[in-house]
Structures are given as structure tokens and as C-alpha cells.
């Protein structure tokens, strides 16, 4: 039997065994074994000694694939909505990252029966700069050269010495650095976390497989296959890589290295697994808080060192950096927090003067308080990067620190405290002054209670973007009260990567293209809210995929937690909301406070943008008839896609008919001052009846679309009230200018057919200096003298300022009566008439009418 035939038989034997296990099991276990059998049958078919044998094995492979599809369809109905979200989020950049179910078996790291090493077929893209020096993907043997016991030596195995060369880490001397790869945040995070990864806590043992628990370090995989347990897209996920690393044509490296042991392999493999998740070695940039959240699962918090925060009484004040110090000092000593810091945008001149790099993350590798001087050991992860020139308290402030000529600041007597070249002790005050953000990653074990809610978010249409109506909202209550941390994490997706890889400009500019999100908290009994303005907590809007709120809750009180966004570029996202606490917390979707919702869409255009109630064209604004069958609380929300347009909504005692003007006594309620983007009015109780709703912009002539949303406890109906000119003929009258001692003018009306009509009058471009000097009344009358009968009159028979349109109720024009008794359009004035603009107006009718010349009376 030839060796190749023996290998083929061995593969078929293992395939049959996997198939047999699948037949005896069910659910996910059966599916995993079928997939394993498919892979093995495919390998056997590739090595088949005859065409007939190859055809048989490929047919067997197709049968197993069909069986796998049946198993998948059988599993699908069992997936909940949240499970389906996690399942959909498991594929990125053409790679599958399944939910973590169990630690991998030892057999997973053994070479295949044919002896071939594992090859991950994932594509790792490179930037143009990286591609210039790229020398291919190489295994450790080829990358690092011969070791003390070469692999090709007869009988050689991977001994403990060899494993030490690749995996043993000396914490005190570990000096991880980046070079060509633009992942300073990753390397800064690994550098800052080295003590919790490999130290006494050794969380790497639950991340990196295979792992030698006895020696507290990763183990070498004979197959070249490594499995990482990373935390992203809602859960812990399985990430598989091979041990091939990108080699370089020069001395520069394309992966993270330890300058004290350039053969150290596990940081580079962990970096490779992370970059597989994020899309390649041409990493578009991140922040260390996000990176460590994915790599370790420790809770990310971003502290904006230059931010002004809102205190307990609502005033804005600078961040208290000493309160931050008090929070992190003890946690760092107990190894429950990892700290990194990041700069903001810095000009080239500032970079040259300070030695800092703009938009760059630095590791904090130590923290101490000596004689009241608070210090952090700060390291630049660039292998050949500039060193911060720093700044120190003066001698008068009690500092015993000195400055070396190289500007690497340390206690001379404690030089070994720096575990890497380029690291320096810096005061807290200098960090706060020179850095933009501090990234804190907290140990989840600090919290005994954790829960997660996975949800999707379809970004609402533009007219709702200034509201919270379409935002995810959750009710949170802690029966025992106390501190509750709420973390929202946005799932990675391919479309976001495509956006940032098309970036022009800085890394920060690319991150901003993905938009901003924030957590808002309302003391609203866990019910949904519609607009901003009454939140008790408002977090910063961050361009990070995660944002954290630390809430001090009252026992038994329900809060509404709302996720808000600005400028999200995609139409749909999936996210996870996680709560962390030391006592039980209930998290549910927030409920609507009202049981019935009605929505209508409209717009302000050249015909309907009438402006506020002081404008003569107010009556042209969109108006709606609201019919309420029985008493109910009511909420009316008006929102627009014109972010800079100030809007307002009035509810008027208008009997469901179009209104011309609005006075205080006409109002049932209003939304108050004109507000940019949206307006809201809540009515605790409204009686049954028909009302008129008027939607207006502050300035006339502004164009925008809007939505009108009405919520109530009983079903209501809402109908558009047609505009006055809708379907009617417009007959304007000649402009009127009154002379001294003339207080009234009339014009005869005639018609050939019975017609329904209304009249309006207004004064255009009236100067503010003349406001209040002339008042007008518009009426329709039959007859004259003692037989005069008023059919319709404006302003409830009162004289009104004509800068606001005057309108009569609708009336009938009867041809015979108009001819017999006379019918008149009457305009009367009161007050100063000199120097005011002309009064204009029109009649709207169903059929043509005649309107004669004006005459005084």
C-alpha cells in the first residue's frame, strides 16, 4: 500500500467516524460533526488515487452537505429573535465567527492524517505601505530561523525550551511595539494589559488555545492552528487563525513584536485574530477601549479629559480628574482595570515641540502616588516613535523628579520601574492637560449580576431624526438600588469597514464617518419618551462602537434608557445592551405610555408655509381635523426633516374646521416656543369633540417635510382640512388705502349661481413701527341701513390687527337675494390710517362671482 493510499484511508476512516457521531446526536452537535465530515471527505477526494474513487467521495461530500442544510433548517425555527441577531452577526469579511460554545478539544490542534499543517483561507488585506515590504506569509520556523533544536533534526519535537522561545513571557521585561501596522490602539492595549494577560490573573488562559495551564502560558500547536475566544458582536466568539505571519523584506515588522524577545509568538497571533475580525492588517484605526473589550471582554469606559460635564444641579463644570484618580488607583493596584490614554488632533508643530503623536493611543503600565504626586507610567507603542518631552511639577510643588537629557522622565533611583524603553513617569495633571481621552477597561468579575439584550435598530426616516420615537428604549429597575453600569455595543459589519477604508484624512476623521452615539436616561417610570430635554443623564456622543453609562439608581424606581445617534450612515444596525450590577436588575423593552398611535405625513411648501401666528399667511399652514370619541390623555408630536427649521403645533377650538387666526382663548394647548426640529405638547385630559390642529414654522416660506404623531388611550381619527383655495376660484379685490375720516369701504357682490364662499383680508409688509396703529374688521352683509344683515364677520366681530390674516367663516351667495337686497363685502377700520400699507384680500368661491368697485360709507 502506498503512503498516499494509507493517508486517504485514514481520512475516510475519520470522516466515517464523524458521520457516525452526527447520526447518534442532534442539534448543534450533529451539525458540527457533519461539517467536520464534509471537510474530511473533501480532503480525501482531493487525494483520491483513482477517478472513480474521487467521484464516489465527492458524491458522499454532496450528500453530507445536503444533510447539513437539513440540520440547519431544523435548527432555525428554534432561534429566538435575539439568537437570530447573534447568528446574523457571526459573519464578517467573508469569515464565520460562531458563538463560543465550549473549549476546543486537543484533537483540534493535531495535524491532519496526511500530516499537512492547517491553513486559514481568510484574506488579510494590506495597506500600500505594508505591501511594499511584504515578503509573504511564513510559519514561525521560516520566520525566526533555526532554534536550538532544529525541527528537521531526527526525532526532534517541540520541547519546553522551544515553547518558551515562542510563548514564555517575562512580564517585567516585555516590551511590545508596533511598526508598519497602524494598530497603535491594539498594541497599546496589549502593553497596558500584559500583567492581567500573563500575570497572576492570567486571563489569557481563557482566550488563547491551546494553553499550558501548568506553566501559565500558551502552548505550541503542532498543526499550526490556534483558536481565540474573542468578545464581539454580542457574545464570545470563536476566531481561528493559522501561525503564518506577514514577513518583511526589511528590518521593519508587519506585526507586533516584543523587543526583548523577537520570537515571542502569542501577541502576534492574538493580534492576527483581532485583525481578522476587524478586516485586515490595513487596520483603519480604533481605540484601546474597544480593542481590549474585544480581546479580553473587560468593560470599556471612555473618559473625556477635556470635557465639561453636568453636575447634580445641572451646571456645567470641568471634569474632576482627581475623582477619576480615586476611581482608578485602587482598581489598578488590584488589577481590576486596564488604562490607556489617547491624544486628540495635534498640529505638526505641536508634535515636534512636545514629542506627542496626534490621534495616537499610549499604554499606562504603572500608576502610583508618592508624596501627593500622582504619576502614571506612559508608554508609546511605536517601536521608533518620538518620546514625549512631558512636563513636571516645579520644585516648589514638592516634586523630587528630575529630567534626563533624553527627556525620558523617571526617578533615577527607580530606573527599573520602567518596563520598556520609551516609557516615562508622568504626572496626572500633565496627562489631563495633554491627552484627550482616558480609556478604562474594567474587570467584569467586579459585578456579580450581568445580563445582555440583543436588538436591531432601523434608523428612522429623516423627519424623526430630531426625536427619540424610533430609538431603542429600555426599562431598567434595580429592586435594591445602587450602581448599575449600562453598556451599549454596536456590532461590527462589513458596510462600516467599507466606509472607513474609503477614508480621506486622519484616523479620527474616518471614525467620525461612522457617526456618534450616546446613552440617555429619563426618570419616566420605564415608559418610552419622544423628545430630548428632560433626561436626568446625558452621556457624551462618542464615535466608538461602545458607550457606557454609570447610573446611581434608587431602589425600585424604573428608568428609561434610550440610545441616541447622530449621523449614522447605514440604515440598519444590530447592537447589544449589557447591564452590570452587584444585585439583580430587570431590563425590558420600554413600553408605550399610550395604547393608540396615529401618524400622518405632510409638508410645508410655497403654498402651505404660512409662518407663525403673527404672519398674515398663518391660515395657509397645514391643518387637521382631530376627532376624539371620548375623554383621553393626548400627546401630539410634530417633527421635521429640516433640522434647522423651528416648528410649533397648536390645538384649537376650531370644531375641526380651518382657522384663520389663533388667540389665547382659541387654544386648547400648544407646544410652547418654536423649537428646532420637533415640537411636543402633552394634554393630561381632553374632552370628546372635534378640534383643529395647526402645524407651523416660525418663518413663512420655509420648506420641509414633517410628521404628525398623535398618541392617546382611545382611538382617534385625524383628517386633512383642505386649503381655502383647494378646488375654489380666487377673486382678489383691489388694494384699499383709507383716507382721513373714512372708516369704511364696501364693494357689491353678484352671482349667477348659488355658491359657497369665504373672504380674507391682510396687510403685507407692515412695518413694526406702525404695529397696533390700525385695526380692521371684514364682513359680508345683505342690505343696508336699518335692514342691514351680517352674514359673516371676521375676528368674532372684533377689530383685529390686519398684519395677521382676517378671515370670515364660510357663507352662501344667493343670486336672487343679492340682486333684491344688495350684498356687500365690507372693510371697516379703526385707529390711525396715515402711512400704513394697503389692505389686500380675496374671495374664494365655488363658481364665478362679480365684485364691484369700492365706495366709502
Catalytic residue flag (residue 703): no
The enclosing H or E element of 474 equals strand 473-477
Q: What integer pLDDT is reported at residue 351 of this predicted model?
A: 85
Model confidence at 765, in pLDDT bands (50, 70, 90)?
low
**Catalytic hit among 93, 332, 360, 463:** 360
| Least-confidence region, from 262-266, 497-501, 682-686, 699-703 | 497-501
CATH number of 729-856: 1.20.1410, 2.60.120, 1.10.1070, 2.60.40? 2.60.120
Q: In whole angstroms, give the CA distance from residue 260 to residue 688.
A: 81
Residue 1, judged by CB atoms within 10 A of its CB (0-12, 13-18, 19+), counts as exposed
Catalytic residue flag (residue 184): yes
For residue 389, give the C-alpha cell.
518631552
Q: What integer pLDDT is reported at residue 835 of this predicted model?
A: 67
Tell me the sheet residues that pair with 108. Answer: none
Q: 3-78 — its CATH code? A: 1.20.58
Q: What integer pLDDT is reported at residue 14 of this predicted model?
A: 64
Tell me if residue 680 falls in helix, strand or coil: strand
Average pLDDT across the chain, whole number: 86
Q: With 60 as the cut, is the pLDDT of residue 410 above it? A: no
Residue 217, judged by CB atoms within 10 A of its CB (0-12, 13-18, 19+), counts as buried
Tell me the sheet residues that pair with 748. Answer: 824
Model confidence at 283, in pLDDT bands (50, 70, 90)?
confident
**Equal fold, 447-589 vs 729-856:** yes
CATH fold label, 302-442: Cathepsin B; Chain A (3.90.70)
CATH fold label, 447-589: Jelly Rolls (2.60.120)
Model confidence at 393, in pLDDT bands (50, 70, 90)?
very low
| Least-confidence region, from 283-297, 385-399, 530-544 | 385-399
Nearest alpha carbon to residue 306 among 356, 342, 353 = 342
For residue 550, give the C-alpha cell.
454609570
Contact 246, 254 (CB under 8 A): yes
Contact 284, 501 (CB under 8 A): yes
State the CB neighbour count (10 A cutoff) for residue 641.
17
Nearest alpha carbon to residue 240 among 104, 333, 350, 417 = 104
Placement of cell 488590584 in the chain: 334
Q: With 60 as the cut, is the pLDDT of residue 400 above it? A: no
Catalytic residue flag (residue 566): no
Per the model's pLDDT, the better-predicted residue between 415 and 773 turns out to be 773
Q: For the segment 463-487, what is each residue's pLDDT rounded down to a tens digit?
A: 999 999 999 999 999 999 999 999 9
Q: What integer pLDDT is reported at residue 353 of this predicted model?
A: 82
| Distance of alpha carbon 613 from the chain centroid | 37
Tell me if residue 412 falls in helix, strand or coil: helix
**Catalytic hit among 233, 380, 441, 471:** 380
CA distances from 224 to 241, 367, 746, 764 (A): 8, 38, 100, 84
For residue 398, give the C-alpha cell.
514638592
Q: What integer pLDDT is reported at residue 745 of this predicted model?
A: 93
Tell me the sheet residues that pair with 242. Answer: 225
**Catalytic hit among 33, 93, 174, 184:** 184
Across 502-512, b (16+ Cβ under 10 Å) vs e yields ebeeebbebbb
Q: With 90 as the cut, is the pLDDT of residue 847 above it? A: yes
Supply the Cα-derived Rg of the chain in whole angstroms.
Answer: 38
State the CB neighbour count (10 A cutoff) for residue 625.
18
Give Cβ neighbours of residue 615 (< 8 Å, ≥ 6 apart): 700, 804
For residue 197, give the C-alpha cell.
494577560
The domain ranges of the chain are 3-78, 128-296, 302-442, 447-589, 596-720, 729-856
Q: In whole angstroms, give the CA distance from residue 147 to residue 372.
A: 49
Q: What is the mean pLDDT of residues 618-636?
A: 96
The enclosing H or E element of 73 equals helix 51-75
Could you give phi then psi for residue 167, rounded to 5 degrees?
-130, -20
Report DSSP state, residue 272.
H
Q: What integer pLDDT is reported at residue 309 of this predicted model?
A: 57
Q: 596-720 — its CATH code? A: 2.60.120.380
Q: With 60 as the cut, is the pLDDT of residue 618 above it? A: yes
Highest mean pLDDT among 40-54, 181-195, 532-546: 532-546
Amino acid at each position: 500500500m502506498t503512503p498516499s493510499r494509507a493517508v486517504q484511508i485514514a481520512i475516510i476512516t475519520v470522516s466515517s467516524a464523524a458521520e457516525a457521531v452526527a447520526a447518534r446526536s442532534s442539534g448543534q452537535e450533529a451539525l458540527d460533526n457533519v461539517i467536520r465530515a464534509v471537510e474530511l471527505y473533501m480532503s480525501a477526494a482531493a487525494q483520491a488515487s483513482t477517478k472513480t474513487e474521487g467521484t464516489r467521495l465527492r458524491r458522499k461530500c454532496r450528500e453530507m452537505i445536503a444533510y447539513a442544510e437539513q440540520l440547519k433548517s431544523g435548527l432555525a425555527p428554534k432561534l429566538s429573535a435575539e439568537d437570530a441577531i447573534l447568528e446574523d452577526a457571526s459573519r464578517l469579511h467573508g469569515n464565520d465567527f460562531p458563538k463560543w460554545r465550549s473549549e476546543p478539544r486537543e484533537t483540534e490542534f493535531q495535524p491532519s492524517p496526511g500530516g499537512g499543517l492547517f491553513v486559514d483561507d481568510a484574506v488579510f488585506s494590506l495597506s500600500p505601505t505594508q505591501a511594499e515590504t511584504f515578503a509573504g506569509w511564513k510559519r514561525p520556523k521560516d520566520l525566526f530561523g533555526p532554534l536550538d533544536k532544529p525541527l528537521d533534526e531526527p526525532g526532534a519535537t517541540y520541547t519546553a525550551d522551544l515553547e518558551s522561545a515562542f510563548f514564555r513571557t517575562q512580564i517585567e521585561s516585555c516590551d511590545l511595539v508596533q511598526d508598519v501596522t497602524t494598530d497603535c490602539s491594539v498594541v497599546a492595549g496589549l502593553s497596558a494589559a500584559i500583567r492581567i494577560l500573563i500575570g497572576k490573573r492570567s486571563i489569557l488562559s481563557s482566550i488563547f488555545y491551546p494553553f499550558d495551564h501548568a506553566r501559565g502560558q500558551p502552548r505550541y500547536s503542532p498543526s499550526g492552528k490556534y483558536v481565540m475566544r474573542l468578545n464581539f458582536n454580542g457574545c464570545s466568539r470563536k476566531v481561528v487563525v493559522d501561525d503564518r505571519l506577514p514577513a518583511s523584506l526589511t528590518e521593519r515588522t508587519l506585526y507586533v513584536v516584543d523587543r526583548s524577545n523577537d520570537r515571542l509568538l502569542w501577541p502576534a497571533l492574538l493580534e492576527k485574530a483581532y485583525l481578522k475580525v476587524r478586516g485586515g492588517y490595513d487596520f483603519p484605526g480604533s481605540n484601546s477601549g474597544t480593542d481590549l473589550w474585544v480581546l479580553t471582554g473587560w468593560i470599556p469606559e471612555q473618559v473625556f479629559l477635556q470635557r465639561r460635564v453636568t453636575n447634580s444641579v445641572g451646571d456645567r463644570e470641568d471634569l474632576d480628574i482627581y475623582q477619576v484618580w480615586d476611581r482608578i488607583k485602587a482598581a489598578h493596584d488590584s488589577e481590576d482595570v486596564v488604562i490607556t490614554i489617547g491624544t486628540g488632533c495635534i498640529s505638526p508643530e505641536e508634535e515636534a515641540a512636545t514629542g506627542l503623536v496626534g490621534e495616537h493611543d499610549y499604554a499606562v503600565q504603572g500608576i502610583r502616588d508618592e508624596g501627593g504626586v500622582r504619576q502614571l507610567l506612559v508608554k508609546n507603542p511605536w517601536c521608533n516613535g518620538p518620546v514625549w518631552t512631558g512636563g513636571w511639577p516645579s520644585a516648589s510643588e514638592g516634586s523630587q523628579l528630575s529630567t534626563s537629557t533624553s527627556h525620558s522622565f523617571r526617578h533615577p533611583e527607580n530606573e527599573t520601574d520602567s518596563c520598556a524603553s520609551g516609557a516615562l513617569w508622568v504626572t496626572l495633571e500633565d496627562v489631563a492637560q495633554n491627552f484627550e481621552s482616558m480609556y478604562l477597561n474594567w474587570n467584569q468579575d467586579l459585578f456579580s449580576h450581568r445580563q445582555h439584550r440583543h436588538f436591531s435598530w432601523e434608523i428612522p426616516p429623516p423627519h424623526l431624526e430630531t426625536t427619540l420615537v424610533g430609538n431603542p428604549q429600555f426599562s431598567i429597575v434595580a429592586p435594591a438600588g445602587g450602581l448599575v453600569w449600562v453598556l451599549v455595543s454596536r456590532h461590527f459589519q462589513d458596510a462600516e469597514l467599507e466606509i472607513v477604508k474609503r477614508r480621506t484624512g486622519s484616523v479620527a476623521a474616518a471614525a467620525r464617518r461612522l457617526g456618534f452615539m450616546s446613552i440617555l436616561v429619563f426618570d419616566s417610570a420605564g415608559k418610552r419618551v419622544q423628545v430630548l430635554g428632560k433626561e436626568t443623564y446625558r452621556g457624551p456622543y462618542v464615535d466608538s462602537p461602545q458607550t457606557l453609562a454609570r447610573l446611581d439608581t434608587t431602589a425600585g424606581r424604573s428608568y428609561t434608557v434610550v440610545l441616541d445617534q447622530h449621523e449614522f450612515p447605514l440604515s440598519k444596525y444590530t447592537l447589544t445592551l449589557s447591564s452590570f450590577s452587584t444585585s439583580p436588575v430587570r431590563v425590558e423593552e420600554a413600553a408605550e405610555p399610550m395604547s393608540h398611535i396615529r401618524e400622518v405625513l405632510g409638508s410645508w411648501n410655497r403654498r402651505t408655509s404660512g409662518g407663525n401666528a403673527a404672519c398674515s399667511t398663518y391660515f395657509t399652514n397645514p391643518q387637521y381635523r382631530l376627532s376624539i370619541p371620548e375623554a383621553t390623555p393626548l400627546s401630539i408630536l410634530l417633527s421635521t426633516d429640516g433640522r434647522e427649521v423651528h416648528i410649533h403645533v397648536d390645538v384649537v377650538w376650531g370644531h375641526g374646521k380651518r382657522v384663520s387666526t389663533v388667540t389665547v382663548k382659541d387654544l386648547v394647548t400648544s407646544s410652547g416656543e418654536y423649537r428646532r426640529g420637533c415640537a411636543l405638547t402633552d394634554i393630561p385630559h381632553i374632552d370628546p369633540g372635534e378640534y383643529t390642529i395647526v402645524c407651523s414654522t416660525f418663518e413663512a416660506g420655509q420648506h420641509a417635510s414633517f410628521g404628525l404623531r398623535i398618541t392617546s388611550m382611545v382611538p382617534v381619527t385625524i383628517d386633512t382640512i383642505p386649503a381655502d383655495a383647494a378646488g375654489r376660484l380666487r377673486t382678489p379685490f383691489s388694494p384699499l388705502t383709507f383716507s382721513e375720516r373714512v372708516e369704511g369701504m364696501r364693494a357689491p357682490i353678484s352671482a349667477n349661481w348659488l355658491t359657497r364662499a369665504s373672504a380674507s383680508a391682510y396687510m403685507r409688509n407692515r412695518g413694526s413701527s406702525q404695529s397696533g396703529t390700525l385695526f380692521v374688521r371684514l364682513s359680508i352683509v345683505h342690505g343696508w341701513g336699518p335692514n342691514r344683515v351680517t352674514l359673516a364677520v371676521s375676528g368674532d366681530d372684533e377689530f383685529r390687527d390686519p398684519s395677521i390674516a382676517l378671515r370670515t367663516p364660510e357663507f352662501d351667495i344667493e343670486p336672487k337675494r343679492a340682486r333684491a337686497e344688495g350684498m356687500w363685502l365690507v372693510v371697516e377700520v379703526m385707529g390711525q390710517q396715515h402711512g400704513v400699507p394697503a389692505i389686500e384680500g380675496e374671495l374664494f368661491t365655488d363658481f364665478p362671482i362679480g365684485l364691484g368697485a369700492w365706495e366709502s360709507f
